[in-house]
Amino acid sequence: MQPIPLITLRNGAQVPALGQGTWNMGESAAAAGAEVRALQAGIDLGMTLIDTAEMYADGQSERIVGRALAGRREQVYLVSKVLPHNASERGTIAACEASLKRLGTDHLDLYLLHWRGSHPLAATIAGMETLMAQGKIGGWGVSNLDTDDMDELADAPGGEQVLCNQVLYNLSRRGIEYDLLPQAAQSHIAVMAYSPIEQGRILKQPALKAIAQRHGVTPAQVALAWVLRRPGVIAIPKAADVAHVQANRACLDLHLNENDLSELDAAFPPPRRKQPLAML
């Protein structure tokens, strides 16, 4: 089993390039036990970055994560997000404190603005700085911000402390390759790719299926390996059962060759011009 590559953030923290997402977890009480076991299995396999948000299942996702972390919080790099309408200076602090309570912990490793809202970025940053000073978060970042938003953020007081931008990135959503990925690399900002297999919608694409068959793997593993081939990119696929987690982890044993990559470029062409930032 290939080790999971580590990515070093601007604050020196090292995180695995393959983590675990939790979007849509916590929505069914019947599935909760399997979801907890899946997250714990992922931790055991080294997928120790777990991403959640106050929005997911109205806080129930955070409660699922809290159950999975019981007795092993120190093993995990924990990420959550504040909703835009809560992201005033005081609102950011209050939302974080509510997330910590649901998660059953006293600190987050990374706290993200979920997407751009009406509150000024400077107000959100001020709230993040207070939370850092109080030891409630180890660092902060953003999600779903395009290049112009990132430029504005960089010019705001304290904006240079941003660690990460979590955005939609997969074979069918390659727009960020044109400008946002190069911008992030130049600024030493990590990119966290959510929905790296487009919530399963791309998995029946013929080229993807053919490459998977050639390598004796699944189309999802090919799609994940493709995202993870890029330096500075973290992928956070969701898996709600142990077998799915194990399959995600095994994608790192797959090496895509130049022929594979050319076929994928033909099936999913890279961007030739600026595209609006895609969101789900």
DSSP result, 156-213: STTGGG--EEEEE-BTTB-GGGTTHHHHHHHHT-EEEEESTTGGGTTTT-HHHHHHHH
Question: 114: annotated binding-site residue?
Answer: yes
**pLDDT value for 193:** 98
What CATH code would you report for 15-203+231-240?
3.20.20.100
Q: What is the C-alpha to C-alpha distance for residues 78 and 174, in angstroms, rounded to an integer?
A: 27
Indicate if the pLDDT at residue 1 is higher than 90: no
Contact of 221 with 20, CB cutoff 8 Å: no
pLDDT, average across residues 106-125: 97
Task: Report residue 203 CA to chain centroid gap.
Answer: 20
Contact of 239 with 45, CB cutoff 8 Å: no
Mean pLDDT of the chain: 97
pLDDT, average across residues 143-152: 98
The HSE-up count of residue 163 (CA atoms within 13 Å, CB side) is 23
DSSP 58: G
What pLDDT, in 10s, does the model give residues 215-231?
999 999 999 999 999 99
Residue whose token pair is 């590559």:
5
Catalytic residue among 56, 77, 111, 169: 56
Contact of 63 with 69, CB cutoff 8 Å: no
- Kindly report whether the global pTM for this prediction surpasses the value 0.95: yes
* Rounded (to 5) percent helix, strand, coil in the chain: 45, 15, 35
Q: Which of 93, 36, 44 is nearest to 62 (CA)?
A: 36
pLDDT, average across residues 163-169: 98
Report percent pLDDT > 70 for the chain: 100
Q: Is 56 a catalytic residue?
A: yes
pLDDT, average across residues 135-157: 97
Contact of 24 with 57, CB cutoff 8 Å: yes
What pLDDT, in 10s, does the model give residues 18-65?
999 999 999 999 999 999 999 999 999 999 999 999 999 999 999 999
Contact of 221 with 250, CB cutoff 8 Å: yes
**pLDDT value for 36:** 97
Q: What is the C-alpha to C-alpha distance for residues 66 and 79, in angstroms, rounded to an integer?
A: 12
**pLDDT value for 96:** 98
